[in-house]
C-alpha cells in the first residue's frame, strides 16, 4: 500500500518548522542575559560612591561608548579613574555637563532614554567618535537607557546595543 506523498512532505515541513521555532526561542532566551535594574531599588542614590560618580557641576563627565561582545553589545565607560571592569550604575550630579562620544575611529552612537530623559536637551542622543554630543543633567532620579555603538555602513538594527542604568543624584556631589 502506498502512502500519500503530499501528506509525507507536509508532515516533514511542519516538523521542520516546529524544530526551527523551538531552536529560535531557545537562542533568543539565552541570547541576552537580563541583569536586574538598580532602578528597582527603592533608594538607588544610596548606590552612588566616589568610585562610580562621574563629573560635578564644575567638572564635566565624559562617557565613551564602544562595541563589545563581538559587536553584539555595547559598553559605556566614564572618565572615572579606576572605574570597575564589571560596572554598576553610573552616577552623575544635577547640573553636570555630560559628553557622549564613540570610542575609537568611526564609531557612531545612539543613546535612548525612552520618554523620560535626565538631560537637557532631551530625546535620543546621536553622535559618534568624530561628533561628541554634550548635554546637561537636569532631573534627579534613576533612568534605564539603551546605548548602541555602530560601525560605518551599519544597517538600522544592526548596531551593538545594551541596557544600562544611570542615576542622577539629588544633590551636586
pLDDT over 70 percentage in the chain: 71
Residue 11, pLDDT score = 46
Residue 13, pLDDT score = 42
| 131-166 per-position pLDDT tens digit | 999 999 988 999 999 998 887 666 555 576 788 889
Q: How many CA atoms lie within 13 A of 128 on its CB side?
A: 9
| 42-76 per-position pLDDT tens digit | 999 999 988 899 988 788 999 999 888 776 788 89
* pTM to 2 decimal places: 0.72
Residue 172, pLDDT score = 46
Long-range Cβ contacts of 70-79 (<8 Å, 24+ apart) = 71/151, 71/160, 72/160, 73/160, 73/161, 73/162, 74/147, 74/148, 74/149, 74/159, 74/160, 74/161, 74/162, 75/162, 76/147, 76/164, 77/103, 78/52, 78/54, 79/54, 79/55
DSSP conformational letter for 72: T
DSSP conformational letter for 87: -
Position with higher pLDDT, 112 vs 21: 112
DSSP conformational letter for 33: P
> What is the CA 38 to chain-centroid distance, rounded?
14
Amino acid at each position: 500500500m502506498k502512502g500519500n506523498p503530499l501528506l509525507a512532505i507536509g508532515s516533514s515541513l511542519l516538523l521542520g518548522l516546529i524544530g526551527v521555532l523551538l531552536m529560535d526561542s531557545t537562542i533568543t532566551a539565552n541570547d541576552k542575559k537580563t541583569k536586574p535594574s538598580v532602578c528597582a531599588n527603592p533608594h538607588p542614590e544610596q548606590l552612588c560612591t566616589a568610585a562610580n560618580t562621574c563629573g560635578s557641576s564644575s567638572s564635566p563627565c565624559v562617557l565613551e561608548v564602544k562595541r563589545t561582545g563581538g559587536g553584539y553589545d555595547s559598553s559605556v565607560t566614564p572618565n572615572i579613574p579606576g572605574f570597575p571592569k564589571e560596572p554598576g550604575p553610573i552616577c552623575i550630579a544635577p547640573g553636570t555637563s555630560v559628553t557622549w562620544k564613540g570610542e575609537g575611529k568611526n564609531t557612531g552612537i545612539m543613546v535612548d532614554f525612552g520618554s523620560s530623559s535626565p538631560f537637557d536637551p532631551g530625546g535620543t542622543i546621536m553622535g559618534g567618535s568624530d561628533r561628541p554630543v554634550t548635554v546637561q543633567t537636569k532631573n534627579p532620579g534613576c533612568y534605564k537607557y539603551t546605548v548602541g555603538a555602530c560601525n560605518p555602513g551599519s544597517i538600522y538594527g544592526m548596531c551593538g546595543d545594551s541596557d544600562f542604568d544611570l542615576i542622577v543624584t539629588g544633590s551636586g556631589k
